[in-house]
């Protein structure tokens, strides 16, 4: 397997497909690099070099007790970028991975970054506080911790329903997708499964977002039951200077899989289009992008 070793000895697994301008993917909790394979294959087939790693504690990477926090996740990402000498990279982060991308830019700057994409991402802060009244109460995250301790395997199965919006009336449920989510979740070590909850819920990335100085695309479904849009994308899009926000009506947290053709087309358009001569098999999204300081959404 392809791995790098961080300064504390943690081995980080990564996959590296294609050639061209690098696109670096940071996945969500409790998943792995496999969660981005639809986007990686699509973009690698169109002239981009696609790289995705398993965050420490997740997937095929080492499972240390320490380092399950956004600072260390960001430093691990920086170690990967530097080991592969990636320049002019486009960073794409989903959910917790969006927080990782934000903290990476906050701690390491944008000298190696060309663009950034935050998808269903946790920034700026998920936890409800006096300064962040739209966040979720701490009891929500305490319940997640309790479920992880009680029966992780069953919890991953249950969580997949809301993650992909399969619990909505009339939803077309993919048992294969649920099984993939369960498999990736079961590969996440117990420490990462537990400690990462604090990392993604209580870490404020507001100051990190203020340091973004590259073109940034923020994508979010307005029926996201995992990271509600009101305390995430709608706020992040106001903090990141010049960010473009696109709200997808009715789409869930896991829209990179449930609506992969639409997400892939929008990513390709933001990245600058195809480099090779072949044309994309999917048409660009017809949903309108919402830009500027006052984005609108239905929730």
Q: Which residues are catalytic?
A: 95, 224, 253
Peptide bond just before 255 cis, omega within 30 deg? no
CA-based end-to-end distance of the chain: 43
Q: Around 49, how many Cα atoms within 13 Å sit in the side-chain half-sphere?
A: 13
- Please tell me whether residue 109 adopts helix, strand or coil conformation: coil
Is the link from the previous residue into 73 a cis peptide, with omega within 30 of 0?
A: no
Please name the residues in contact with 196: beta carbons below 8 A apart, sequence gap of 6 or more: 29, 30, 57, 68, 96
* The residue to which tokens 């203020």 are assigned: 210
Which phi-psi region, left, alpha or beta, contains residue 67 (left: φ > 0; alpha: ψ -120 to 50)?
left
Number of Cα atoms under 13 Å in the Cβ half of residue 243? 27
For residues 40 and 14, the answer to whether their CB atoms sit within 8 Å is: no
């Amino acid at each position: 397997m392809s791995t790098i070793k961080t300064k504390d000895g943690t081995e980080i697994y990564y996959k590296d497909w294609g050639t061209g301008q690098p696109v670096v993917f940071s996945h969500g909790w409790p998943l792995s690099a496999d969660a981005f394979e639809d986007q990686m294959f699509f973009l690698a087939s169109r002239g981009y070099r696609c790289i995705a790693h398993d965050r420490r504690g997740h997937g095929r990477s080492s499972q240390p007790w320490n380092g399950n926090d956004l600072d260390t996740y960001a430093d691990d990402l920086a170690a990967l970028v530097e080991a592969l000498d990636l320049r002019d990279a486009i960073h794409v982060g989903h959910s917790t991975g969006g927080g990782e991308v934000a903290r990476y830019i906050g701690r390491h700057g944008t000298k190696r970054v060309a663009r950034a994409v935050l998808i269903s991402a946790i920034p700026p802060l998920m936890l409800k506080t006096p300064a962040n009244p739209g966040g979720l109460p701490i009891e929500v995250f305490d319940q997640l911790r309790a479920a992880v301790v009680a029966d992780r395997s069953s919890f991953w199965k249950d969580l997949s329903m809301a993650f992909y919006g399969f619990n909505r009336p009339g939803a077309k449920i993919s048992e294969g997708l649920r099984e993939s989510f369960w498999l990736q979740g079961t590969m996440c070590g117990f420490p990462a499964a537990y400690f990462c909850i604090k990392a993604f819920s209580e870490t404020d990335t507001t100051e990190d977002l203020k340091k973004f100085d590259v073109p940034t695309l923020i994508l979010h479904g307005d029926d996201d039951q995992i990271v509600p849009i009101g305390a995430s994308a709608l706020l992040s899009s106001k903090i990141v200077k010049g960010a473009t926000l696109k709200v997808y009506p009715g789409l869930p947290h896991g829209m990179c899989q449930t609506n992969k053709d639409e997400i892939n087309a929008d990513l390709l358009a933001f990245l600058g289009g195809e480099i090779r001569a072949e044309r994309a098999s999917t048409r660009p999204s017809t949903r309108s992008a919402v830009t500027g300081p006052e984005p609108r959404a239905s929730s």
